[in-house]
Amino acid sequence: VSDLNVPEPTAQRFIQRFEAAFGRRQSMLLKLAGFRFGEVSAAGAMVSDSGGGEWIDFGSFGVHLLGHRHPRVVEAVATKLTQMGLSTKILGSDDLLACAQSLTRVCGSQASSVVFTNSGSEAIEVAIRLANIATGRDGFAALEGGYHGKTLGAAALTDSAYRAAVAKSALTVTRLPRDNPAEGVAMLRHAAPAALFIEPIQGEGGVRPIDEHYLRALRHACREAKVLFVADEIQTGLGRTGLVLESHRLGLDPDIVVLGKVLSGGLMPVAATLFDRSSVGERAADPILHSSTFAGGALAAAAARAVVDLIGEDGFLDQVNHLGAVAAERLERLDRRETGLVAVRQRGLMIGLEFETAALCGRAVIEAARRRLLVTFCLNEPKVMRVYPPAVISEADLLVGLALLNEAIGAAFQESRANQIPA
Ligand SMILES: Cc1ncc(COP(=O)(O)O)c(C=O)c1O
C-alpha cells in the first residue's frame, strides 16, 4: 500500500512488534488491509505513514472534526506549553475558568457548571455520580443500542457485547427499547431511576437517530418522575451534526450534558460533564467527589477553549452543513443494487452507511483502507460504517474521499458476490 521507501523487513517487523504488544485482533486490520507502516504525522484531513504513504482520514472515532493539528489549537497548546503544564490542583486556573465559561456559553442555559475529565467514559462516570447523589437512587436507565464507554459504570449503561464481557454489571440498568416509545416511557416511569442516559443519535449503535417525539416524551416523563435526563453528546456534540448540540435542535434541555471527542481538538484528551448546580444540589456537585489528578490541566483547557471558540465562530457550523450537503448529494447517487447498502443515515458530517451484513461492511472498510481512506465500523452495530469527514477538508478533497469510498464499496460488493459463486 505504502511507497516502499522503507525496506520490507522493517515494515514486516512493525506488524509483528505491533501484534506482540497489542494482540492479534488489534493487528488484524493492519494485516488484512496490507498496512505495513505506522502513522507518523498528520495535518487537516491527511495522515502520513512512515513509508511515505498519505491517507485521508474519515475515521478517528469521531475525534477530528477540526482535522488533525488545527493551527489554532496547536498554537493555543504550544503557547500554553511554554507557561504551564498540569494543574497544582490547589490554585485556580484562568485557562480552565475561561474554557468552562466558553463551554457553558455555547451549550446554553441549563449547563452552568462543568467537571472536566480525561475521557468520555470518565465524564459519564461523573454524570452517574451526580445523578446518584442528587436523587439518592441507584438504578439507571439507558436505551437499547446505546454506547456510553467502557469504565465499569459507563459499560453498564452501554448495550453491547462489551458489557457482557464484564462479569457483573456495576449498576442496575433498565434497558428501554429504541423503537417503542409507549413501552419505553412506561418502563421509565415504572423503574423511576436516578437518571436516563440517551444519545440523540446513537453513534456506535449505527449512526441511528432516536425518534424525536420519543425523546421529547422521555424528557417529559423524566421531569414528572424527577429522573435526571442526561444527553450523552460525546459523539454528536460540538459541531459534528451541524449544531453545537443535537439536544438544541430537539429542544430537550437536558439536566446533564456530556461532551468529549471533538472537545480535544484532536490534541489533548479532554471531556466534560455540564450540569445545573441548582438541579443536582451542592452535595452532588462537590468538586472533591469528581476530582482527578490529570483532569483540567492548562494544556487541555487551552485546547478545549480553542475548539469551543472555533466552533462558535461565524461560518463554522455552516461549513459543516455545507460539506454535509455535498456528501449527501454524492451518497444519494450510489446505486444501492451494486453496493449491498441498505441505508444511508446522515446529519451534518456524521454519516452512517448500513450494509446487508457486518462481513460486507468489514470488507468495505478494508477496501477503503487499501485505497488509503480511513473509515471504521460502529462498535455496537458492525454492519454500519462510520464516515466522519473533518469540517476543515476542502470540497475537492471531500469528493476525492467519497469517490474512493464509492470504489471501495463497489469492490467489496463484487468480491463478496464472487465468493458466493460455488467453485
Ligand atoms: C456516545 C459516546 N459516549 C461515550 C463514549 C466513551 O468515550 P471515551 O472513548 O472517550 O471514553 C463514546 C466513545 O466512542 C461515545 O461515542
- Give tens-digit pLDDT for 1-10: 444 455 566 6
Instruction: Please check whether residue 300 is in contact with residue 123, taking contact to mean a CB–CB distance below 8 angstroms.
Output: no
Q: Which atom of ligand 1 is nearest to the CA of 146?
A: 1
Per cent of the chain over pLDDT 70 is 94
Q: Which atom of ligand 1 is nearest to the CA of 61?
A: 14
pLDDT score of 71 more than 80: yes
Instruction: Please check whether residue 384 is in contact with residue 346, taking contact to mean a CB–CB distance below 8 angstroms.
Output: no
Q: What is the dihedral of CA 368, 343, 232, 100, to 10 degrees?
A: 60
Mean pLDDT, residues 311-334? 95
Q: Which atom of ligand 1 is nearest to the CA of 122?
A: 11
* Radius of gyration (C-alpha) of the chain in whole angstroms: 22
Q: What is the dihedral of CA 177, 252, 104, 262, to 10 degrees?
A: 50
Instruction: Report pLDDT digits (tens) over 349-388.
Output: 999 999 999 999 999 999 999 999 999 999 899 999 999 9
* 234 Cα–ligand 1 center, Å: 6
| Site to substitute for ligand 1 among 210, 261, 263, most atoms within 8 A of C-beta | 261
List residues bridging with 114 in a β-sheet.
Answer: 274
3-class secondary-structure state, position 269: coil
* 9 Cα–ligand 1 center, Å: 37
pTM of the model: 0.94
Per cent of the chain over pLDDT 90 is 79
| Site to substitute for ligand 1 among 235, 257, 384, most atoms within 8 A of C-beta | 235
pLDDT score of 421 more than 60: no
* 119 Cα–ligand 1 center, Å: 8
- Higher confidence at residue 72 or residue 2? 72
**Tell me, what's the pLDDT at 163?**
59
**Tell me, what's the pLDDT at 309?**
95
* 200 Cα–ligand 1 center, Å: 14
Whole-angstrom Cα distance, residue 31 to residue 400?
25
* 122 Cα–ligand 1 center, Å: 9
Q: Which atom of ligand 1 is nearest to the CA of 199?
A: 1
Mean pLDDT, residues 74-79? 98
Q: Is 222 exposed, middle or buried (0-12, 13-18, 19+ CB in 10 A)?
A: buried
Residue nearest to atom 6 of ligand 1 (CA): 149
**Tell me, what's the pLDDT at 398?**
98
Residue nearest to atom 16 of ligand 1 (CA): 235
* 120 Cα–ligand 1 center, Å: 5
| Ligand 1 first shell, C-beta below 6 A | 61, 119-121, 124, 147-149, 199, 203-204, 232, 234-235, 260, 271
* 381 Cα–ligand 1 center, Å: 15
Mean pLDDT, residues 198-220? 98
23: left (phi over 0), alpha (psi -120 to 50) or beta: left
Q: Which atom of ligand 1 is nearest to the CA of 203?
A: 16
List residues bridging with 174 in a β-sheet.
Answer: 141
* 64 Cα–ligand 1 center, Å: 14
Residue nearest to atom 13 of ligand 1 (CA): 149
Residue nearest to atom 7 of ligand 1 (CA): 120
Sequence-separated (6 or more) residues with CB below 8 Å from residue 13: none
**Tell me, what's the pLDDT at 2?**
45
Tell me the pLDDT of the chain averaged across its residues.
92
* 422 Cα–ligand 1 center, Å: 42
Element (H, E) at 101: helix 94-107
Q: Which atom of ligand 1 is nearest to the CA of 258?
A: 3
Whole-angstrom Cα distance, residue 287 to residue 326?
44
Set of cell numbers at residue 239: 459541531
Placement of cell 485482533 in the chain: 25
